[in-house]
Amino acid sequence: MSGREQRICRRKIRLDKTKGEKKMAKQRVAVLTVLSALLLFSFAAFAQEEPAWKHGEVSVQGTGFFTKDSNGNGISQHATDTGGVLIGYRYHFDRWLAAEANYGYDRNAQQNFTSGGPFNVQANVHQATAALVVTLPGSYRVNPYVLAGAGALVFDPTNNAGQSVPGALRQAEAAFVYGGGADFTLVKHVALRAEYRGFVYNRPDFQLAALNSNVTAHTAQPSAGLVFRF
C-alpha cells in the first residue's frame, strides 16, 4: 500500500471514529433528555397528588338527627327524627392526621311513655365535640377519612306550651362520637363533604326522676355540606 493510500485509510478511520463518537453523544443526550422528562413528570404527578388543604378548613353541613328507641326502668322512649346544622374546623397536621372541633344544633321532642302516662319534652339539642381524624388513601379528587372523639350533647327544653313537663331542666350528657366520610374536591379550595357520625350517650331525663330510664342512647347523624380550605 502506497503512502497516499495509507493516509486516506487513516483519515477514513478518524472520520468513522468521529462519527461514532458523535452518534454516541447524541444517544447519551437523548437518554438524559428522556430521564429528565420522566423525572419532571414524576415531580409534577407527586405535586398534583399532594392535597391543597394541608393546614386548615372550615365546613358547613346540613344534618339528619335520628335516635334509636330505648326501654328502661319501665319507660319507653322515642325521640322524633329531625334535621339541623353542623359547623366545624379541621386542622391537618400532615397528609394523614388531623384534629377537629365541631358545633351542631338540632331540635327534637323526647317522648317518654311511663306507667303514669306520656311525658313529652321538646328540646334544643346543642352538640360540642372534638375528634381526631385519619385520612385514608384516596386521590386528589376524593379523600375518605374516619374519625373518633368525645364531647357533650346539651338538651335544653324549649318550654313551649304543650311540649314540656313542669320542672324539666337543661341537661348535658357526655358523648362518644365516631364516624367517617369523604371529601370530593370541586375546585382548589372548595370540596363537597358527605359524612356519617354516631353518638353514644346516656338518655336525658331533664333532671326528673320520673323520666330516668338509665339506658344508653345512640343517635345517627348523616350529613352533607361544603368544605372551604385555606
Of the pLDDT bands very low, low, confident and very high (cuts 50, 70, 90), residue 1 is low
- 44-100 tens-digit pLDDT: 444 444 444 567 999 999 999 999 999 999 999 999 999 999 999 999 998 899 999
DSSP letter assigned to residue 52 = S
d(CA 44, CA 31): 20
The end-to-end CA distance of the chain, in Å, is: 83
Q: Average model confidence (pLDDT) for the chain?
A: 84
* d(C-alpha 184, C-alpha 145), whole Å: 12
| One-letter identity of residue 187 | V
Average pLDDT over residues 9-26: 49
Cα 223 from Cα 156, distance rounded (Å): 22
Q: For residue range 166-194, what is the model confidence (pLDDT) as tens digits?
A: 999 999 999 999 999 999 999 989 999 99
Q: How confident is the model at residue 2 (pLDDT cuts 50, 70, 90)?
A: low
Q: How many CA atoms lie within 13 A of 139 on its CB side?
A: 4
